[in-house]
Amino acid sequence: MDAAMKTTFRIALAGNPNCGKTTIFNQLTGTRQHVGNYPGVTVERKTGGFRIHDLAVEVIDLPGVYSLSSTSPEERVAFRELVDGGIDLILNVIDSGNAQRNLYLTTQLAELDLPMVLVFNMIDDAKERGLEIDFEKFSAFFGAPVVQTVGSAGNGMDDLREMIYRIANDPAPRRPVKPKYGPKTDQAIRALTEAVEPLLRPENRRIPARYFAIKLLENDPEICNRAEFASLLQPAEEWRGKITTRNGINSETLMADYRYGVIAGACREAIQISHDRRRQLSDVIDRVVTNRFLGLPIFLVMMYLMFLFTFVLGEYPMMWLETLFEGLADLVNALWPTGQAEFFRRLVIEGIIGGVGGVLIFLPNILLLFMAIAFLEGTGYMARAAFVMDGFMHLFGLHGKSFIPMLLGFGCSVPAVMATRTIESERDRLTTILVIPFMSCGARLPIYAMIIPAFFALRYQAAVMFIMYFIGVVVALGCALLLKSTLFKGDGEVFVMELPPYRMPTFQSILIQMWERAVMYLQKAGTLILTASVILFVINTFPVRTSFTQDYPAQIAAIEHDQTLSEEERSREIAPLRGAMRAELLEYSLAGRIGKVLAIPLQAVGFDWRVSSALIGATAAKELFVAQLGVLFSIEDAEASASTLQQQLRRSYTPLQAFCIMLFCLLTIPCIATIAVVRRETGSWALTGLQIVGFTVVAYTLTFVVFQVGRLLGIGVEFLQ
């Protein structure tokens, strides 16, 4: 492969889940990454780039798969990328401690006849398990060079880069050894290969016709559905019948058996287990964290510590950002010409800076939360959490696989709903989709971060935060039980999950995940939230009221000219008059009118018209609840420049009301983006409508009960110190 003839050398990273593939990707590309979705599916697409001397390299991080059988969205995506993506080199990442399982994918990749490097990753884990691996034998068996790495520590990365460069500049790079499948099957492959050859499209000619012949023989739906191979479906079916008759099993099973035979022979020759093999640390830890009695309490403690970490460390950065935006608003106010374009001055200060800034100050909390989640995922604990929850989930008609998307719901409901595609049972998948938005997503975090410090002392904040997340989980599981007992009644399925060894995640990988979340959040703040904040400001401003219940301007002017009062006394007497005047302006505005209509049913749950108005913005994105309140309160008390939104909320509501606000925002209808993805994944407007109605009923009912019982018992009427 002459690198000089290509502007970019394209590499695909392929491997099983939990093989450390993404760690290798991060080591190669650093922060030069792009994340999106493959067209037509919800599988994430990661690409990145780097240079080796004079060579520009593009890396595609394929989804983690066990085979190229096209039976799942991840497998179809990986297959299409390898076949149609113009790949020059495959880096097949293998978990050295589980080579026999990982190598099945290797035998399928070899059929592509593309240059391949076997990246035996996590060799430190293999050594700790007492495995002695002859890498030269593996290289000979599979016809591909081997590079040893420890991706988490960056070991072997220079060797890997040098190998990539060498292959890129090799005019005739080494090709992998392809398995054989027995006389009759090989005869069928040769016959179909001859038939496939003239049918190949120009863009597929880098992949040998033999590969497509094998896929036709395996009845792979991805290949069999291609129009160019329609004429070969009948011959392929005939060959499959002959193979079944001769061997007593179908061709797909037979070929898989041959592959496993190759792998077993290679591993038997190339892997030895030393006599002094030590018991793995992972096994020792799992005796505790997956214990049937200790597993769940440990999980709850881990979640509590995660929220404590989020609040304690996030307090000071939040204060710094708040000061920054207050200073920016003061600067704009000072530089703006007095009396000119007053509407636009207020739009900039109160609508844009107040609205968007009121959301961005919670970025530290969100980053810290995702840092904690990334750390727990990287260590392998999150897989144990799903395993621990399996028995518990069965109580609600689900299994542990449903717990993974629900866990992702703590980050964002949109990818969480997409992640349900890994659930084989359609009933369980639909049930999980419908209850996921009850999980407290990252968009609700700004609401908690605004309200909790305002109404609860520091020693109670983590506990209140934990309670909110816990309520979401309980309600989600309760609704799941209801759905599985009625609408989606049926038997559950056995839950099988791989538990990867415990590892210490790299600081780089955690930072990259934090950076991706930060970019997503900032993009949301810079587009949707900015637009909605401006719209909310406009409906908070118009129509403009011209007459008031009192002559506020005259009363304010009289106080300003009263020479018997000090400056401090004047400010103290003018503030309530201006506040009352602004309150009447807001009540007359479109937002006030809508809020007053909503406040009629919502007053039973403790909400006034301002909270009711803010809920309007929350239907677009939950963060906009904060932005709307920021706009409302900054207008009403604009002169009190030293007062924060939290202080104004504290003056207006009790802790009981504050708790009910968070509860309602937690349980009410999800954001528009979530509704859209639910409709797409379920394919049903009826189920989407059921979700909207159900969430509204649950939110109102539970909040009503909490508020009325709390008020009756006198709970939450005073601030907790």
Domain of 573, in residue numbers: 545-580
State whether 142 and 192 are in the same domain: no
- Model confidence at 631, pLDDT cuts 50, 70, 90, reads low
pLDDT beyond 90 at 95: yes
Claim: this prediction has a pTM higher than 0.85: no
In this prediction, residue 276 carries a pLDDT of 45
Mean pLDDT of 145-158: 93
pLDDT higher than threshold 80 for residue 449: yes
Least confident window among 20-29, 172-181, 237-246, 404-413: 404-413
**Predicted confidence (pLDDT) at residue 604 exceeds the cutoff of 50:** yes
Contact between 697 and 634 (Cβ < 8 Å)? no
On whether residue 334 sits in a domain, the answer given is: yes
Lowest average pLDDT, out of 382-396, 444-458, 620-634, 682-696, goes to: 620-634
Give the C-alpha separation, 51 to 168, whole Å.
12
Least confident window among 134-138, 256-260, 636-640: 636-640
Quick: pLDDT tens for 510-563. 887 777 767 766 776 567 667 777 887 888 788 988 888 888 889 988 998 888
Flag whether 285 is in a domain: no
Pair 459, 539 in one domain: no
Single out the residue of 32, 37, 19, 84 nearest to residue 59, CA to CA.
32
Query: Looking at the structure, do residues 164 and 225 belong to the same domain, yes or no?
Result: no
Based on the fold, state whether residues 217 and 340 are members of the same structural domain. no
Residues 6+ apart with CB under 8 A from 720: 455, 456, 457, 460, 655
Same domain, 327 and 225: no
407 and 428 fall within a common domain: yes
| Mean pLDDT along residues 587-602 | 86
Of 462, 485, 508, which marks where a domain is finished? 485
pLDDT tens, position by position, 641-655? 324 678 888 888 999
**Of residues 689 and 399, more confidently modeled:** 689
Position 506 in a domain: no
Residue 669's pLDDT is what?
A: 87
The number of folded domains in the chain is: 5
Question: In this model, does residue 273 exceed pLDDT 60?
Answer: yes
Query: Is position 718 within any domain?
Result: no
Looking at the domain assignment, is residue 398 inside a domain?
Answer: yes
Q: Which of 560, 580, 600 is at the close of a domain?
A: 580
Give the domain-ending residue among 441, 465, 485. Answer: 485
**For residue 719, is pLDDT > 70?**
no
pLDDT at 628 over 50: yes
Q: Is residue 509 part of a domain?
A: no
The answer to whether residues 250 and 300 belong to one domain is: no
Kindly state whether residues 401 and 453 are assigned to the same domain. yes
CA distance 165 to 121: 19
Same domain, 432 and 555: no
Contact 134, 266 (CB under 8 A): no
In this prediction, residue 505 carries a pLDDT of 79
Same domain, 327 and 460: yes
Is the per-residue pLDDT at 71 higher than 80? no
438: in domain? yes
- CATH number of the domain that 232 lies in? 1.10.287.1770
Q: Please report the pLDDT score of residue 121 as a whole number.
A: 95
pLDDT of residue 422: 62
Higher pLDDT, 322 or 216: 216
Contact 35, 122 (CB under 8 A): no
**CA separation for the pair 23, 289 (Å, rounded):** 25
Name the burial class of residue 413, with classes exposed (0-12), middle (13-18) and buried (19+) by CB atoms within 10 angstroms of its CB. Answer: buried
Whether residue 525 sits in one domain with residue 671: yes
Q: Which long-range contacts (CB under 8 A, 24 or more apart) does 401-407 make?
A: 401/428, 401/495, 401/497, 402/428, 402/431, 402/432, 402/480, 405/432, 405/436, 406/432, 406/435, 406/436, 406/439, 406/473, 406/476, 407/382, 407/439
DSSP run (H or E) holding 273: strand 271-273
Residue 511 domain-assigned (yes or no): no
| Helix (H) / strand (E) containing 303 | helix 295-335
Same domain, 151 and 211: no
